[in-house]
Structure formats: C-alpha cells, structure tokens
Chain A
C-alpha cells in the first residue's frame, strides 16, 4: 500500500478539506441571504408578475380595444372581457375585464397577444391575498396595477 494515501487517510485529509471549506464560509461577507422586507429584491424588467391594464397616461382612458385576443390566448381561459359597441364611435369598448389570478400561471401569452400593450404582466410579485375571491381581479383593480406591500409594525 502506498504510504501517501495511508497517511492522508490517517490524518483525515479528506475530512479536513471539507472542514476548511465550511470554516472559510463563516466570513460574514459570504452571506447570501436577502433580508426580504427590509431589502427589496431586484426584479427583472421582463418579470411576469401581477397583471395590469395600462391606461393612456395623458387621458386616463384605457388602452384596451376589447379585441378579446388575450382571452383567446389564455391557456387557462381565465380572462373574460366584456365589451359594448359605442353607438357614437361605432367602436367596441371594454366594459368589464375579469382576470382570475388564482388560476394564472404567468405564462405571459395574454400579454404577448395584446395588440395595444394594454394588458401587461407587471413586476409586482407580492400577490398573496386572504381569500380566493380577492384574487379575481376586476377592471378597476387591474388598472390600479401594482400595489407594493407596505409593512407596518
């Protein structure tokens, strides 16, 4: 038997190597934890989070043209667009918009289908609610968009 492996085994070099790694990592600089409510995570620009209906920032009118593409594209069929033809402009106008976030899997197909960039998945990821009903978003809630959680003591 070769002497070097025997010695290595006797002095537990293999175990020491592991101990060394864990010891080194005690440096507080290595800590990877994000203290979440205190430190906000960086959310990517393309993040697919809470849905939002965009409004025209100048006029406050919705951008939705009630084309129903999002509802058609949705694999879970969780979008329902109610529309009405405006007798004056002869255009379809969105009246109601329901989005059931509880069933949403955030695939982004609806936002891709939207022809006016109205429906969009925003960067808001804090969508926990106390009941399932609260997760069925209506038009008003969707237009309000992201509501960052405020933590109070």
Chain B
C-alpha cells in the first residue's frame, strides 16, 4: 500500500514543509466508503473542509483482465469483458466484438446490428439510471435511487429474456449475436419506452429545479473544454463541457448512422450540466431504441465466422461510445487462436484522473458529488 504518512508524500505540503502542518488534515476516504462507488480510495488533504489536494489509490479490484485475455481464445474472452463495466456490460461486449470483427474483417449482418443497437442503448439508459440514482444518493436525495432502480429493472428483465442474464449479459458474439430475439421482444421494448418516458420526467421533477440540487451541483466540479480534452475525458463528462463529440456520430459503428438522434451538450462543464446531459442522453437513447425497434430488418443474425477464430496477424484499435465515454479495445493478433494482447481503454479510468483537477479548492461534500458525476465503475477502472 502507499505509505501516505511519509513526509513529502504530497508535493505541496504547506509552507512549513512538514507534512503534519497544523492547518491540514489528511482524510482517507475509502476503499470502504458509502459513496466512492466501490473500492476507490481517495486521500484528501484538507484545510478544514476545503480540499487542497487528492490522491486516488486504485487497483483494489484489479483482476488482470488484459492478462486473462492473453490466455483465452477470442471466443472465451468475450464473457470477461462484461465484468469490467458491469453496469454497461452490453456496451463492453459490443466493443470487444467489433474489435475482433475488425480484425477478422467481417461485419455483423444488419439484423444483428439492430439488435446490438437496441440492447446497447437500453444498456446506456440502464447505466445512466444507475448513475442518476447513486449520484442523487451521494448528494443526499435517497428517493431517486429507488425510482431509477425500479425502471432499470424493466431493462434488466428485457436482457434476461433476451440473453438469459441480467447484468453480465454476454449478449453478443463475434460476428453477430448468439440469440434471435424472443417472442414479444419488440412489444417489450416498446412497452418499456412508453413506460419509462414519464418516469424520466419524474426524476427531473425531483431534481432538476430543486434549489438544493441546483446549489449542490451548479459550479461544482468545473472542467473546461480545453482541460477536458487535455485530460482525455470522454463521454457525457466531455460533452457537458461543451464539446459536441460522440463516437456514434463521429465514427459511426454498428449502423448508428441510420438513426436520428442528437448529441446533447452542456455549457459550463459543471456537475449540473453533466446531470442534464445524461438525462438528455437517456431520452435520446430512447429515441434510438424506438427507431431501431420499428425498423428492425429480417435476416441472419450471425456473419460467417469460423468456429475457431483465428484472425490474421495485425493490430486494431476499435472504440465505441460506452455510457461512460470512449471504450476502446486495442487488440494485437499473432495469428493464433488467442489474442496476443488486448488492451482496454477504459473510460472510467481516464475520467477518474480528472478528479483531482475538479475538486481542488472545493469542499468535502463536493468530492462526493464529483466522484458521482464522473460515473466511474471500479470494475472498469481497475480491470
């Protein structure tokens, strides 16, 4: 473990140069803490309640996914990616499958793409709902959590019916999808869309105009567009800073170019904007789902992929717009059945790095709000 009590652990240890300056307090937040979203450990250097600096200590959930990948065949590794960002496992699987498909130079048939889009967007809604609930809980509003979880449950039910698992779905396979839609899939999805739209209004009623919510989120965790780009922050966090960039639009994959949706952006890059962006994204995802389910084509769901996947030697980097940001897979193949190297570019990991910048000078309560607003999943940060 990091020895934080060592003198000089922090570069700016105060004017006296000693670490234990009388004005400063070191607060260890986590890894067991209600609002570090898992096992994140943040060491805060405080002046009263003011944060002078942070140090993130991660790795408590490190499982060596990249190492495992080198010892599994391409097909076998597929379920493991679900375990990284376990609240958006479908997106993880999609990114992985797309990367290997690119390596194999095959493309999933349109029907598979549509199914993928539907599930991924549903997963995006689920992920954002989970984020909204926990974020609100961090800020002290406990009720939205239950509403969002209730509505997320409907998505999980669809997942369960479609691929047999609720969280770690393993829904897609290299070259398409394994499962044909079940009887009544379209109706279920449509019913869900109808059901959830008014519920989203309810979340907003509870939070969007609430003065306490506004005070807690406006101007908190500011990050400018330049900083956000320099920090490599992606996803809603970047968009809330005003950068209109969404991989689904910029470099469409899985037939996203066929769908009509908008990329919501924020202005100030504060916590409130990120909240608005994510809520707007949920609605846009609903739009995509509705369009996709209306126009889902008939056809095969699996491209012609050999039983034993042996991609030619080469390396590709394929990334998708996961709910948390750009999720990339850098896969190196040596021509064997096992990947030579799989590198996952985890959005949460990179976004978490911006924490220090965002909370310096803020209060302790803001640290919690900012951790929440970054929407990190420690499974993905630590891999």
| Distance in angstroms between the alpha carbons of A48 and B165 in the assembled complex | 6
Cα-based distance from A124 to B206 in the complex (angstroms): 39
Q: A109 an interface residue at 8 Å Cβ cutoff?
A: yes
B162 within 8 Å of A by Cβ?
Answer: yes
In the complex, per-residue mask of B190-220: 1 if CB is within 8 Å of any chain A CB, else 0: 0000000000001001110111100000000
Give a binary string over B138-169; 1 marks a CB under 8 Å from any A CB, 0 the rest: 00000100110010010001001111110010
Question: Do residues B206 and A18 form an inter-chain contact, with CB atoms below 8 A?
Answer: yes
B340 surroundings in chain A (CB, below 8 A): none
Neighbour of B76 across the interface among A12, A109, A121, CB < 8 A: A109
Indicate with 1 or 0, residue by residue over A5-28, a CB within 8 angstroms of chain B CB atoms: 000010011110110111001000
Considering the complex, give the chain B residue whose CB is closest to the CB of A20.
Answer: B205
Given that A17-B205, A45-B161, A105-B168 are contacting pairs, would A75 and B210 also be in contact in the complex, using a CB cutoff of 8 Å? no
Expressed in whole angstroms, the Cα–Cα distance for A18 and B157 within the complex equals 28
Minimum CB–CB distance from B383 to chain A (whole Å) comes to 16
Interface residue count on the A side (C-beta < 8 Å)? 28
Given that A73-B76, A75-B80, A108-B164 are contacting pairs, would A46 and B179 also be in contact in the complex, using a CB cutoff of 8 Å?
Answer: yes
Q: Are A21 and B164 in contact (CB under 8 A)?
A: no
Set of chain A residues within 8 Å of B202, measured between Cβ atoms = 21
Give the residues from 22 to 78 in chain B that come closer than 8 angstroms, CB to CB, to chain A: 72, 75-78
A27 to B6, CA, bound (A): 56
State in angstroms the CA–CA spacing of A82 and B245 once bound together. Answer: 55
26 A–B contacts from the bound complex (CB under 8 Å): A9-B211, A14-B209, A14-B211, A15-B212, A17-B205, A17-B206, A17-B209, A17-B210, A18-B210, A21-B206, A25-B147, A32-B150, A45-B182, A46-B160, A46-B164, A46-B182, A47-B160, A48-B164, A73-B75, A105-B79, A105-B168, A106-B165, A107-B79, A107-B170, A108-B165, A108-B170
Is B165 touching A47 in the complex (CB atoms < 8 A)? Answer: yes
Query: Does A44 sit at the interface, judged by CB under 8 A?
Result: yes
On chain B, the residues within 8 Å of A143 by CB distance are none
Q: Tell me if A18 and B205 are in contact (CB < 8 A).
A: yes
Query: Across the interface, do A15 and B79 meet the contact criterion of CB distance under 8 Å?
Result: no
State whether the Cβ of B336 lies closer than 8 Å to any Cβ in chain A: no
B178 at the interface (CB under 8 A from A): yes
Taking CB atoms, residues of chain A closer than 8 Å to B168 are 105-107
Q: Is A112 an interface residue (CB 8 A)?
A: yes
Residues of A participating in the B interface, judged by any CB pair closer than 8 Å: 9, 12-15, 17-18, 20-22, 25, 32, 43-48, 73-75, 105-109, 112, 121
Chain A nearest CB: distance from B298 CB in Å?
A: 21
Size of B's binding interface in residues, CB under 8 A: 33
Contacts from B to A (Cβ < 8 Å): 72, 75-80, 83, 143, 146-147, 150, 153, 157, 160-165, 168, 170, 178-179, 182, 202, 205-207, 209-212
User: CB within 8 A of B205: which of A9, A21, A32, A47?
Assistant: A21
Please give, as numbers and ranges, the residues of chain B lying within 8 Å of A22 by CB-CB distance: 143, 206
Using CB atoms, name the residue of chain A closest to B146: A32
- Rounded to whole angstroms, the CA-CA distance of A87 and B150 in the bound complex is 58
Closest-CB distance, A125 to chain B (whole angstroms) = 10
- Min distance, Cβ A110 to any Cβ of chain B, angstroms: 11
Q: How far is the CA of A75 from the CA of B76 in the complex (A)?
A: 5
Counting from the closest, the 4 A-B pairs by CB-CB distance are A107-B79, A75-B76, A46-B164, A48-B164
Q: Chain B residue with minimal CB distance to A34?
A: B153
CA distance A63 to B79 in the complex (A): 27
Asked if A44 and B161 make an inter-chain contact with CB atoms under 8 angstroms apart, the answer reads: yes
Q: How far is the CA of A73 from the CA of B211 in the complex (A)?
A: 55
Q: How far is the CA of A22 from the CA of B205 in the complex (A)?
A: 10
C-alpha spacing A44/B80, complex, angstroms:
23
When distances are taken between beta carbons in the complex, the residues of chain A under 8 Å from B205 are: 17-18, 20-21
A17 to B170, CA, bound (A): 41
Q: Smallest CB-CB separation from A13: which chain B residue?
A: B209
Find the A residue at minimum CB distance from B201: A21
Chain A positions within 8 Å of B210 at CB level: 14-15, 17-18
- The verdict on A75 contacting B79 (CB below 8 Å), with A21-B202, A48-B164 known, is yes
User: Most chain-A Cβ atoms within 10 A of its Cβ — which of B153, B164, B165, B211?
Assistant: B164
Q: How far is the CB of B66 from chain A (nearest CB, A)?
A: 15
The CA-CA distance from A75 to B70 in the complex, in Å, is: 12
CA distance A109 to B212 in the complex (A): 49
Chain B residues near A74: list those with CB within 8 A.
Answer: 76
Q: How far is the CB of B35 from chain A (nearest CB, A)?
A: 21
List residues of chain B with CB within 8 A of the CB of A12. Answer: 211
Nearest residue (CB) in A for B76 is A75
Residues on B with C-beta less than 8 A from A20 are 205
Which residues from chain A contact B162 at a C-beta distance below 8 Å? 46
